[in-house]
Amino acid sequence: MTGDRTSGWTRRQALQSLALAGAAAAWAPRGLAQAPSRRIGVALVGLGHYSRDLLAPALQLTKHCRLAGLVTGSPGKLPEWQGRYGVPDRNVYSYDDFHRIADNPDIDAVYIATPNHLHKPLALVAANAGKHVWCEKPMAMDATEGEAMVKACRDNKVQLAVGYRMQHEPNTRRFMAMAKERPFGRIIKLRADAGWWGWRDGADDAWRLDPARGGGAMYDMGVYCVNAARYCTGLEPLAVSAFDETARRDLFKGVDETMRFRLEFPDDIVAECVTSFGRNLNTLQVDCERGWYAMSPFQGYEGNAGRASDGTVFEPQLGPRPRMQAEQMDQDALAILGNTAPRAPGEEGVADLRVLDAAFASARGDGKRVEIARG
Ligand code: NDP
Buried/exposed 139-178: b ≥16 CB within 10 Å, e otherwise: bbbbbebbbbbbebbeebebbbbbbbbbbbbbbbebbbeb
Give the number of C-alpha atoms closer than 13 A to the C-alpha of residue 343, restricted to the C-beta side: 20
pLDDT the model gives residue 200: 64
pTM, rounded to two decimals = 0.91
pLDDT the model gives residue 204: 72
Residue 205 Cα to ligand 1 middle (Å): 7
pLDDT > 70: percent of the chain = 89
pLDDT the model gives residue 246: 96
From atom 10 of ligand 1, which residue's Cα is the shortest distance away? 46
Please determine, for residue 33, whether its predicted confidence score (pLDDT) is greater than 50.
no
Q: What is the mean pLDDT of residues 142-168?
A: 98
Test site for ligand 1: of 114, 209, 223, 321, most ligand atoms within 8 A of the Cβ: 114
Q: pLDDT digit string (tens) for 293-308?
A: 999 999 999 999 999 9
Please determine, for residue 8, whether its predicted confidence score (pLDDT) is greater than 90.
no
Q: What is the mean pLDDT of residues 30-40?
A: 63
Q: Where in the chain is the domain with CATH 3.30.360.10?
A: 11-26+166-333+340-371
Q: Where in the chain is the domain with CATH 3.40.50.720?
A: 32-164
Let me know: does 322 contact 51? Beta carbons within 8 Å: no
Q: Is the peptide bond before 297 cis (omega within 30 degrees of 0)?
A: yes
* Strand, coil or helix: 256: coil
pLDDT the model gives residue 193: 98
pLDDT > 90: percent of the chain = 87
Alpha helices in the chain (DSSP H): 11-20, 49, 56-59, 78-85, 119-128, 143-155, 170-181, 217, 223-233, 323-338, 346-364
pLDDT the model gives residue 320: 95
Test site for ligand 1: of 50, 112, 166, most ligand atoms within 8 A of the Cβ: 50
Let me know: does 53 contact 360? Beta carbons within 8 Å: no
Average the pLDDT over each of 22-26, 191-195, 267-271 and give the range with the smallest value.
22-26
Q: Which CATH architecture has domain 32-164?
A: 3-Layer(aba) Sandwich (3.40)
In the structure, which protein residues have their CB atom closer than 6 angstroms to any atom of ligand 1? 46-50, 72-74, 77, 113-116, 118, 136-137, 163, 165, 204-205, 207, 213, 220
Average pLDDT over the chain, rounded to an integer: 91
Let me know: does 81 contact 87? Beta carbons within 8 Å: yes
Average the pLDDT over each of 7-11, 276-280, 312-316 and give the range with the smallest value.
7-11
Q: pLDDT digit string (tens) for 210-256?
A: 999 999 999 999 999 999 999 999 999 999 999 999 999 999 999 99
pLDDT the model gives residue 202: 63
Q: pLDDT digit string (tens) for 11-31?
A: 333 333 333 233 333 334 444
Confidence band (pLDDT; 50, 70, 90) for 205? confident
Q: Are strands 239-244 and 291-295 parallel, antiparallel or unpaired?
A: unpaired
Residue 204 Cα to ligand 1 middle (Å): 9
Could you say which of 3.30.360.10, 3.50.50.60, 3.10.450.200, 3.40.50.300 is the CATH number of the domain covering 11-26+166-333+340-371?
Answer: 3.30.360.10
Please determine, for residue 42, whether its predicted confidence score (pLDDT) is greater than 50.
yes
Residue 133 Cα to ligand 1 middle (Å): 16
